């Protein structure tokens, strides 16, 4: 009974936050440098995760403050101190933040794992690899004396841990996936990092926050090449610049929607435009010079699959919706099968930008 009352209170808080957020003059972003103080995070190849996270976070915040007069930056930590997962989320909630960005560095037993990936919250779902990463990042709660009370009995080692905030989390899933996709695109295009795609996992720091939010893994300290890259100040600046570029696109979209009060559709180039009649969105999987059947093994079980012809090639797409957000929600799943998948738009059956 107490848990149900708690859920109701949280949901009402989230709804009131959403309504209040529509009247804010500035876009509030909370930047969270993962770990810190007595919690070093992952350690390998003479690199400590907490140091990398803080360096990238401060560079990101500086870029926003210098270039975005319509944004307000709040850090969960700006120096080497320990902050609980609950307090990190509380800072964002109290500020009625429009966006929460948690910056981390990855680690894996397989030292060949490398590249960047960006996570959105999902309650106890996802691939085994994602669950292990969430388990490692969540284990910091054991440093807190009252963790069983603060996190409603959540235990990182228990797959049966309760789902407390599903209602609130689903409300922001589409925005979180969209921003995560923008970040990964910049990592790939601007920083030239291997793209491990947008993923979903049960991170406590995301679970407690009630706004669109992502957790970024900027590389693997357990990979010698990644570790060498992450040790350089220029590399950290490039990673921060990538997140900054994605942030500006997302912020500008959000503020335009807030000011106009009209529904907009995000175009492939990252800009916004009014949704056009007859426009549908699909996820492009692959291109081939030969025509494949709908049940071809090349599609890896995805259905329905269709195709269009362009430049003497058959280009195959999955799904269809007049809402780009629907395809954005499907994109992380598809990218696990087709890492280069992306969204395309069609009007009256003709591909458009």
Yes or no: say if 266 and 255 are a contact pair by the CB < 8 Å rule. no
Report d(CA 286, CA 38) in Å as an integer: 47
What pLDDT, on the 0 to 100 scale, is given for residue 142?
44
- Whether omega before 235 lies within 30 degrees of 0, making that bond cis, reads no
Q: Is the pLDDT of residue 2 over 80?
A: no
> For residue range 337-349, what is the model confidence (pLDDT) as tens digits?
998 899 999 887 7
Query: What is the SS3 assignment for 85?
Result: helix
Q: Which of 79-93, 168-182, 317-331 has the highest mean pLDDT?
A: 79-93
What pLDDT, on the 0 to 100 scale, is given for residue 347?
83
Identify the residue with better confidence: 162 or 203: 203
What pLDDT, on the 0 to 100 scale, is given for residue 116?
97
Query: What is the SS3 assignment for 22?
Result: coil
What pLDDT, on the 0 to 100 scale, is given for residue 260?
60
What are the distances in angstroms from CA 37 to CA 25, 77, 140, 190? 34, 10, 12, 31
| Two tokens, residue 103 | 């910056």
What pLDDT, on the 0 to 100 scale, is given for residue 171?
64
Yes or no: say if 4 and 158 are a contact pair by the CB < 8 Å rule. no
Query: What is the SS3 assignment for 310?
Result: strand
Q: How far apart are the first and last CA of the chain?
A: 51
> For residue range 72-120, what is the model confidence (pLDDT) as tens digits?
999 999 999 999 988 999 999 999 999 999 999 999 999 999 999 999 9
| Nearest residue to 215 (alpha-carbon basis) of 231, 204, 229, 226 | 204
Domains defined along the chain, listed by start: 2-260 (3.40.630.40), 264-352 (3.30.70)
Angle at 93 between CA 270 and CA 3, to 5 degrees: 120
Read off the pLDDT band of 123 (50, 70, 90).
low
Q: What is the dihedral of CA 48, 50, 52, 58, to 10 degrees?
A: -160
Report d(CA 300, CA 298) in Å as an integer: 5
> For residue range 252-271, what is the model confidence (pLDDT) as tens digits?
988 887 766 433 333 333 33
Q: Is the pLDDT of residue 206 over 90?
A: no
Report d(CA 259, CA 174) in Å as an integer: 20
Q: Is the pLDDT of residue 12 over 90?
A: no
Buried b (16+ CB within 10 A) or exposed e, 191-216: bebbbbbbbbbbbbbbbbbbbbbbbb
Yes or no: say if 127 and 209 are a contact pair by the CB < 8 Å rule. no
Read off the pLDDT band of 330 (50, 70, 90).
confident
Q: Which of 156-165, 221-230, 272-281 has the highest mean pLDDT?
A: 221-230
Q: What percent of the chain has pLDDT over 90?
A: 47
What's the predicted TM-score (pTM) here? 0.63
Least confident of 80-84, 112-116, 155-159, 285-289: 155-159
What pLDDT, on the 0 to 100 scale, is given for residue 170?
53
């Amino acid at each position: 009974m107490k848990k149900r009352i708690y859920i109701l209170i949280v949901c009402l808080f989230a709804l009131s936050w959403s309504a209040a957020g529509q009247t804010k003059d500035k876009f509030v972003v909370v930047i969270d440098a993962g770990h810190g103080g007595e919690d070093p995070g992952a350690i390998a190849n003479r690199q400590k995760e907490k140091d990398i996270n803080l360096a990238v976070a401060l560079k990101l915040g500086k870029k926003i403050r210098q270039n975005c007069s319509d944004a307000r930056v709040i850090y969960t930590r700006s120096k080497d101190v320990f902050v609980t997962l609950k307090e990190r989320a509380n800072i964002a909630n109290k500020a009625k933040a429009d966006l929460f960005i948690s910056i981390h560095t990855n680690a894996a037993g397989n030292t060949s794992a490398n590249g960047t990936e960006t996570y959105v919250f999902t309650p106890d779902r996802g691939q085994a690899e994602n669950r292990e990463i969430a388990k490692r990042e969540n284990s910091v709660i054991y440093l807190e004396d009252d963790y069983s009370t603060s996190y409603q009995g959540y235990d990182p080692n228990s797959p049966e841990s309760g789902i407390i905030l599903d209602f609130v989390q689903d409300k922001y899933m589409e925005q979180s996936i969209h921003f995560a996709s923008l970040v990964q695109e910049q990592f790939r295009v601007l920083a030239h990092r291997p793209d491990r795609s947008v993923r979903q996992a049960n991170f406590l720091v995301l679970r407690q926050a009630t706004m669109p939010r992502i957790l970024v893994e900027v590389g693997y300290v357990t990979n010698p090449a990644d570790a060498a890259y992450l040790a350089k100040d220029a590399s950290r600046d490039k990673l921060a610049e990538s997140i900054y570029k994605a942030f500006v696109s997302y912020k500008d979209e959000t503020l335009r929607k807030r000011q106009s009060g009209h529904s907009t559709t995000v175009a492939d180039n990252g800009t916004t435009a009014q949704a056009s009649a007859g426009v549908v969105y699909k996820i492009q999987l692959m291109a081939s010079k030969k025509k494949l059947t709908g049940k071809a093994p090349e599609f890896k079980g995805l259905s329905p699959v269709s195709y269009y012809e362009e430049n003497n090639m058959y280009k195959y797409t999955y799904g269809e919706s007049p809402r780009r957000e629907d395809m954005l929600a499907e994109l992380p799943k598809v990218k696990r099968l087709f890492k280069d998948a992306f969204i395309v738009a069609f009007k009256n059956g003709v591909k458009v930008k």
